[in-house]
């Protein structure tokens, strides 16, 4: 009968242990990241009775087999701290003691930064992960996460990408003439024997430095030709604002053969309207010629009059100062396979080291007959690059990309197009920025920590890593919501959140305790009843022993 006493005692001890575990679970119901435990009992069998049939065994009570952690997902609570992090799924944060150099594992994601910028838990243990270099590239060494980047250096603009729609119906824009420079008309009325030199200003009635339309220039050419020829012959001159061609008719009855030479052979320093050196050939009486001379040039002093469309682009120099570059687009000519446009990058005199408004880059873009960008050619930098004021690096090269390469030619889907619609900009980006100071931080679901700076840029600062275990229940508790690796848990499997079955990180969120109070109260009642029942076994056995001791009386 004494064995029944020990059986009862084992029941008392086992249920008392269960009450302790239940009490610990309830005590930590509000502990962030806490994982509840449960007690597993085993029966004790050690006495076998002989005789009779079958197996006759008497148990000797109960023993506590193990206390098992329950790593089920806890509920989430949203907070206002960007460094509060919850794990949705499996995995543990890795934190290291900077003094003992010991690594612990935790589900509690209450993190802040200390005075040195380390991300730490409330006990001062440092969160582990990958740090990023100054360019925002993650390194591959697991180390303490330290946020020391408070400012980022400026970045000079090297590339600007612009997507526009240019009006295919746009006229080739006006002309600006300068007396003595591009106003000379050289012609012969006798097939080339005698040459005359006329001026659009003195003979054609135009004003030097003013902008005129092609039709106005055509009328002035007519007046100049007739004035210099003593008004003995008459001519008709017209202008096509799509092709940029002047058509000259030598009226029927004129005595001579008209020859025009736009290259000004009588004065090599003078070329009409900046045209190429092209001769019209002989125009016999009663016939006409459409000169293949190109249209007038872009004139910086009359940029608005000698271009079709413009847009400002903000760029940055090597010191992070912003400057406005105005891009002017001028329709140049109609080709057999599409249209050509010239572009000019103009910097105002207040932003140039010379103090003068300058064309600091220019080039040509060509379109095919479908309106798709075909090529970007002829890019030059008249001053060796962009020369901004403010002490920044000079001859800064900025590449302008209008959205399509030759390999993409003809698709009409990416980049600048030329259709029969009003010109406009649909996209504009550039890679420069000014210096900036850290405003706030954010953590994405992959654990990547990004800093958002005052200049609008974001920079990767680091990445939180998670450790998983083949048997998480084999981890040993170290207090303070920490666990230690054991032989039974296996070695930590370290990686980025979301990889190889690891959970994802939820920023500004905490994982609450997974303790179910209703279940704990039920377990408390069953432990209490078990304790009471086992105490009855002891008292009953005691009464039987007392009765047995009375037999000798």
Predicted confidence (pLDDT) per residue in 177-206, tens digit: 878 777 777 788 887 788 788 888 888 889
Confidence of residue 176 (pLDDT cuts 50, 70, 90): confident
Question: What mean pLDDT do residues 351-366 have?
Answer: 95
Whether residue 251 has pLDDT greater than 70 = yes
The whole-number pLDDT of residue 267 equals 45
Question: What mean pLDDT do residues 320-347 have?
Answer: 89
> Phi and psi at residue 216, in whole multiples of 5°?
-65, -40
Give the residue ranges of DSSP H helices in 174-327: 214-228
Interatomic CA distance for residues 234 and 258, integer angstroms: 11
Whether residue 394 has pLDDT greater than 60 = yes
Interatomic CA distance for residues 264 and 279, integer angstroms: 10
Asked if residue 357 lies in contact with residue 346, where contact means CB atoms within 8 angstroms, the answer is: yes
Confidence of residue 54 (pLDDT cuts 50, 70, 90): low
Contacts of 324 (CB under 8 A, 6+ apart): 312, 313, 314, 315, 347, 348, 351
Q: Which helix (H) or strand (E) holds 514?
A: none
Interatomic CA distance for residues 128 and 145, integer angstroms: 6
Predicted confidence (pLDDT) per residue in 523-533, tens digit: 999 999 999 99
The whole-number pLDDT of residue 407 equals 40
The whole-number pLDDT of residue 410 equals 47
> pTM to 2 decimals?
0.70
- The C-alpha angle 419, 303, 367, rounded to 5 degrees, equals 25
Whether residue 292 has pLDDT greater than 60 = no
Asked if residue 290 lies in contact with residue 278, where contact means CB atoms within 8 angstroms, the answer is: no
For 16-73, the DSSP string reads HHHHHHHHHHHHTTTSTT---EEEEEEEEEEEEE-SSSS-EEEEEEEEEEEEEE--PP
Confidence of residue 263 (pLDDT cuts 50, 70, 90): low
**236-240, 277-281, 516-520, 531-535, range with the lowest pLDDT:** 277-281
Closest by Cα among 79, 75, 73, 65 to 18: 65
Whether residue 354 has pLDDT greater than 60 = yes
Whether residue 88 has pLDDT greater than 80 = yes
Q: Tell me if residue 12 falls in helix, strand or coil.
A: helix
Structure tokens at 166: 């240019």
Q: Tell me if residue 488 falls in helix, strand or coil.
A: coil
The whole-number pLDDT of residue 451 equals 93
The CATH number of the domain covering residues in 159-170+308-430: 2.60.98.20
Closest by Cα among 405, 328, 418, 319 to 368: 418
Whether residue 57 has pLDDT greater than 80 = no
Domain ranges of the chain: 2-72+514-549, 76-153+437-511, 159-170+308-430, 175-290
Structure tokens at 229: 């020829």
Asked if residue 444 lies in contact with residue 85, where contact means CB atoms within 8 angstroms, the answer is: no
Question: What mean pLDDT do residues 281-287 have?
Answer: 79
User: 238: number of CA atoms within 13 Å, CB side?
Assistant: 10
Going by their DSSP bridges, the two strands 424-430 and 417-419 should be labelled as: unpaired
Question: What mean pLDDT do residues 25-38 have?
Answer: 96
Going by their DSSP bridges, the two strands 175-176 and 476-479 should be labelled as: unpaired
Interatomic CA distance for residues 86 and 505, integer angstroms: 6
Confidence of residue 452 (pLDDT cuts 50, 70, 90): very high
The whole-number pLDDT of residue 412 equals 43
Query: From residue 200, how far is each of 182, 219, 273, 289 by CA, in Å?
Result: 9, 10, 10, 20
Interatomic CA distance for residues 69 and 10, integer angstroms: 23
The whole-number pLDDT of residue 295 equals 52
Structure tokens at 333: 């000519």
Interatomic CA distance for residues 384 and 173, integer angstroms: 28
The whole-number pLDDT of residue 296 equals 65
**133-137, 242-246, 333-337, 387-391, range with the lowest pLDDT:** 333-337
**26-30, 356-360, 417-421, range with the lowest pLDDT:** 417-421
Predicted confidence (pLDDT) per residue in 100-158, tens digit: 999 999 999 999 999 999 999 999 999 999 999 988 999 999 999 999 888 899 999 99
Interatomic CA distance for residues 205 and 221, integer angstroms: 10
């Amino acid at each position: 009968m004494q064995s029944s006493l020990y059986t009862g005692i084992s029941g008392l001890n086992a249920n008392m242990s269960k009450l302790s575990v239940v009490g610990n679970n309830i005590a930590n119901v509000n502990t962030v990241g806490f994982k509840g435990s449960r007690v597993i009992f085993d029966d004790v069998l050690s006495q076998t009775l002989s005789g009779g049939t079958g197996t006759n065994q008497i148990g000797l009570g109960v023993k506590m087999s193990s206390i098992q952690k329950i790593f089920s997902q806890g509920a989430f609570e949203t907070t206002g701290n960007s460094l509060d992090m919850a794990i949705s799924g499996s995995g543990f944060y890795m934190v290291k003691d900077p003094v003992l150099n010991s690594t612990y594992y935790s589900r509690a994601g209450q993190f802040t930064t200390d005075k040195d910028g380390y991300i730490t838990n409330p006990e001062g243990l440092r969160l582990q992960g990958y740090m990023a270099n100054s360019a925002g590239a993650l390194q591959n060494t697991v180390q303490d996460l330290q946020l020391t980047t408070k400012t980022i250096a400026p970045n000079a603009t090297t590339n600007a990408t612009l997507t526009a729609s240019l009006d295919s119906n746009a006229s080739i824009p006006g002309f600006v003439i300068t007396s003595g420079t591009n106003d000379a008309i050289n012609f012969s009325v006798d097939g080339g024997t005698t040459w005359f030199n006329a001026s659009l200003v003195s003979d054609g009635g135009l004003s030097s430095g003013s902008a005129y339309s092609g039709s106005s220039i055509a009328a002035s050419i007519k007046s100049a030709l007739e004035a210099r020829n003593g008004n003995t012959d008459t001519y008709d001159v017209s202008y096509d604002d799509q092709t940029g061609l002047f058509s000259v008719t030598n009226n029927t009855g004129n005595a001579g053969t008209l020859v025009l030479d736009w290259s000004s052979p009588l004065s090599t320093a003078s070329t009409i309207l900046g045209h190429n050196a092209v001769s019209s050939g002989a125009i016999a009486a009663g016939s006409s010629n459409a000169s293949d001379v190109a249209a007038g040039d872009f004139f910086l002093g009359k940029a608005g009059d000698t271009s079709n469309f413009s847009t400002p682009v903000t760029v940055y120099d090597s010191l992070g100062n912003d400057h406005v570059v105005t891009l002017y687009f001028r329709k140049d000519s109609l080709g057999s396979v599409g249209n050509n446009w010239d572009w000019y990058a103009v910097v105002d005199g207040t932003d140039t080291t010379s103090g003068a408004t300058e064309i600091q880059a220019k080039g040509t873009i060509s379109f095919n007959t479908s309106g798709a960008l075909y090529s970007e050619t002829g890019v030059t930098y008249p001053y060796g690059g962009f020369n901004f004021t403010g002490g920044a690096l000079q001859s800064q090269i900025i590449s302008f990309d209008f959205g399509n390469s030759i390999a993409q030619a003809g698709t009409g889907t990416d980049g600048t197009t030329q259709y029969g619609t009003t010109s406009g900009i649909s996209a504009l980006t550039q890679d420069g920025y000014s210096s900036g100071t850290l405003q706030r931080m954010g953590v994405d679901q992959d654990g990547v920590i990004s800093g958002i700076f005052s200049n609008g840029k974001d920079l990767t600062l680091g990445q939180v890593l998670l450790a998983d275990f083949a048997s998480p229940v084999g981890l040993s508790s170290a207090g303070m919501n920490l666990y230690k690796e054991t032989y039974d848990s296996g070695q930590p499997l370290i990686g980025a959140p979301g990889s190889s079955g690891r959970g994802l990180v939820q920023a500004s969120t905490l994982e609450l305790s997974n303790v179910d109070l209703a279940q704990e109260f039920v377990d408390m009642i069953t432990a209490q009843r078990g304790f009471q029942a086992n105490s009855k076994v002891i008292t009953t056995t005691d009464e039987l022993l007392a009765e047995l001791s009375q037999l000798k009386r």
